[in-house]
């Protein structure tokens, strides 16, 4: 059973471009969380999704950011018109329902130049 | 909303014991987890407390007091490889869904 897979591991975008970050949860996991981490800082919650549903997006900026977790395929975090402040590590975690442990991917390091 | 407080940095000596505290204010709280993250790596799960008391896993133990909204992670026989950031995280239920929110992390520095 492969772990949580995130790709790409590193992504460089110019200001104004779009960034698409992918997360394939572990097999059998229906819950996906996205977190953003700035250097020397903690994990800031962005969004919590279950298959085809956004459960909690209270940590997501209202503009330019969106997330989905379709019935088939990976979860996608999409950032439109990126700015330098979007540069961070973005981590995805997954878990099955009613389980205390969340499994993290290796993260995507986004650099906006 | 959810809020967690943990020290930003703790320093300890190799072979010693260290305790990292976490206090929280959480609606719909039902559990506290701890995660370890090495520089440049992904967070990895260490422990979970759903009930009051102490959970022990090898050199690591975690404690929860729901009445005090407080928990701690205890690391014994510290090794240099334990130098990392440690995050407490609250599990909560509300609005028909579960959530998982992390604290800002404690950077543990181990000195020889």
pLDDT at site B100: 84
pLDDT at site B95: 56
Judged by CB atoms closer than 8 Å, whether chains meet at A43 and B87 is answered as yes
H or E element at residue A5: strand A5-7
Judged by CB atoms closer than 8 Å, whether chains meet at B43 and A91 is answered as yes
Write out pLDDT tens, residues A41-72: 788 889 999 988 998 898 899 999 999 999 99
Which percentage of chain B shows pLDDT scores above 70? 95
Shortest CA distance from B45: residue in chain A: A101
pLDDT at site B92: 86
d(CA B24, CA B37): 20
- Nearest residue to A32 (alpha-carbon basis) of A10, A54, A11: A54
d(CA A84, CA A48): 24
Residues 6+ positions from B39 with CB-CB distance below 8 Å: B84
Residue B97 pLDDT > 70, yes or no? no
For A16, counting Cβ atoms within 10 Å of its Cβ (0-12 exposed, 13-18 middle, 19+ buried), the class is exposed
Interface of A with B (CB under 8 A): 31, 33, 35, 41-45, 48, 50, 55-56, 91, 93, 95, 97, 100-107
Q: Which residues of chain A have pLDDT under 50?
A: none
Write out pLDDT tens, residues B37-87: 998 899 999 999 999 999 998 999 999 999 999 999 999 999 999 999 999
> For chain A, how long is the longest CA-to-CA vector?
41
pLDDT at site B99: 78
A44: distance to nearest CA of chain B, Å?
Answer: 7
């Amino acid at each position: 059973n492969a772990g949580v897979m995130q790709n790409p591991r590193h992504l460089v975008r110019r200001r104004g471009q779009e960034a698409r970050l992918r997360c394939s949860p572990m097999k059998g996991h229906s819950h996906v969380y996205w977190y953003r981490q700035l250097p020397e800082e903690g994990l800031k919650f962005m969004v919590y999704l279950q298959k085809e549903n956004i459960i909690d997006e209270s940590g997501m900026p209202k503009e330019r950011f969106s997330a989905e977790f379709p019935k088939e395929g990976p979860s996608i975090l999409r950032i439109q018109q990126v700015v330098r402040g979007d540069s961070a590590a973005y981590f995805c975690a997954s878990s099955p329902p009613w389980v205390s442990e969340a499994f993290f991917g290796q993260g995507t390091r986004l650099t906006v130049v | 909303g959810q809020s967690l407080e943990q020290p930003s940095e703790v320093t300890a000596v190799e072979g010693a014991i260290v305790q990292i505290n976490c206090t929280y204010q959480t609606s719909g709280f039902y559990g506290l987890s701890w995660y370890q993250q090495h520089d440049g790596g992904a967070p990895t799960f260490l422990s979970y407390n759903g009930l009051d008391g102490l959970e022990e896993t090898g050199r690591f133990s975690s404690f929860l007091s729901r009445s005090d909204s407080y928990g701690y992670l205890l690391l014994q026989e510290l090794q240099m490889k334990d130098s990392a950031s440690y995050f407490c995280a609250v599990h909560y239920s509300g609005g028909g869904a579960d959530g998982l929110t992390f604290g800002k992390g404690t950077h543990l520095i181990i000195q020889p």
